Amino acid sequence: MKDDQSYIAEMTGRYIWAVVKHLPAKGRSDIETELRGLIEDMLAERAGGGQPSPKDLDVVLAELGAPYDLAQKYIAQDRYLIGPQLFPKYWLVLRIVLAAEIAGLTLAAILTAVLGGTAGIGAFAEWLANLCVGTAVAFGFVTLFFALAERQGGRLRRQLIHQDWKLSELPPVPPGKSRIPRAGPIAGIIFTVLVMILFGWFPGLLGAWLPHDGWRVVPIFDAAVLNARLPLLFLSFTLGLVQEIAELMEGRYTLRLMWVTLGTDAASLLLSAAVFLDGRIFNPHMTQDLAAAGIHLNEAGWVLQHFGAFLVAIILFAFVLEMATSLWRTLRYRDAGQ
């Protein structure tokens, strides 16, 4: 009898999780409570006042139908560019990206003005123009990403929609440790957007900040070469955004997320190496510029000569650490909620 009740409790939990995971976060708890009560009432009715058996539960859940089908009864499903299942996360990511973009462009414009760049009406017009372009790009990228996810997910659902679902194949409710806190990918999205803004709009702020006749920035990069390498850099950053958004959408460590992480990290590493191992991208006059500002490197000058290799080594270490962490967590939690 105890085993029967354990089976009923576990499979009820699995079924409810398989339903509510398709629903927007807002209202999930209410629907979960409602659905649990519905299952209990149906079990009591079927058992005729006695103790329900596992077979009773199997019949009740079969009557309720496939979890995805039941979820659609709680949300209006139609032809959408981005449907109700993805829209809450789309709206969340879009707000994060736009907020980071506005904050980054504003801060960079202020720093540029402080360093003696464009000021007054000209600075405001330049900031407004950058903001319009950046907003359009950010909106287009995020919308395209989620629209593709909607279309591909729709195709997969159409392929599986007529297949019989099995109660025994319901995944267990993922434990807390297997879930990815939202703060991590949100911080990653914000950081990546800010870095893209720096490289794309304000590369002059990337350098050694020196208190010399006010503030002076000795640039790290050669502006012309960096501008030519921007497509590769932006592709690398875009892959990073894809990986962070995938983490936010998946919400837990899965094999699918692991392969996305491995693929985007490997591609980003190759792109970064192609950009930064080319020594021409760095300011060839940086040592002289630093000396003119009163900074003499002497023996440490060889660091600048091999700065690209050091930068790629740091990036390699970060990517390897992230890939190893993703692999370890996925293997550890691979049986949780797959």
Contact 204, 193 (CB under 8 A): no
Q: Say which residue the tokens 């629907």 belong to.
A: 31
Count of CA atoms in the C-beta half-sphere (13 A) of 102: 6
Token look-up 């003119």 returns: 292
* pLDDT at residue 257, rounded to an integer: 84
DSSP, collapsed to helix, strand or coil, labels residue 62 as helix
Q: What is the pLDDT of residue 337?
A: 44
pLDDT tens digit string along 277-328? 887 888 777 777 676 666 666 554 555 566 667 777 888 888 888 888 878 8
Q: What is the pTM of this model?
A: 0.58
For 252, phi then psi, to 5°, come to: -160, 165
Measured torsion, CA atoms of residues 281, 314, 233, 288, in degrees rounded to the nearest 10: -20
CA–CA separation, 168 and 298 (whole Å):
70
Q: How many CB atoms lie within 10 A of CB 189?
A: 23
Query: Span 86-115, mean pLDDT?
Result: 83
Strand partners, 217: 209
Q: What is the mean pLDDT of the segment spanning 193-215?
A: 77
Range of lowest pLDDT (42-46, 116-120, 146-150)? 116-120
Contact indicator for 15, 6 with CB cutoff of 8 Å? no
- What local confidence, expressed as pLDDT, does residue 334 receive? 61
Three-state DSSP class for 79? Answer: coil
pLDDT at 164: 54
Model confidence at 169, pLDDT cuts 50, 70, 90, reads low
Say whether pLDDT at 261 is over 70: yes
Q: How far apart are CA 82 and CA 264, in angstroms?
A: 24
Q: What is the pLDDT of residue 267?
A: 92
pLDDT at position 54: 87
pLDDT of res. 155: 47
Average pLDDT score over residue span 202-223 = 74
Q: Inform me whether the pLDDT recorded for 242 exceeds 70.
A: yes
Does 88 or 169 have the greater pLDDT score? 88
Nearest Cα neighbor of 37 from 69, 60, 67 is: 60
Between 19 and 335, the higher pLDDT residue = 19
pLDDT band at 116 (very low <50, low <70, confident <90, very high): low
d(CA 243, CA 229): 22
Determine the 3-state secondary structure of 54 from DSSP: helix
* Among candidate residues 277, 282, 274, the one with its CA nearest the CA of residue 222: 282
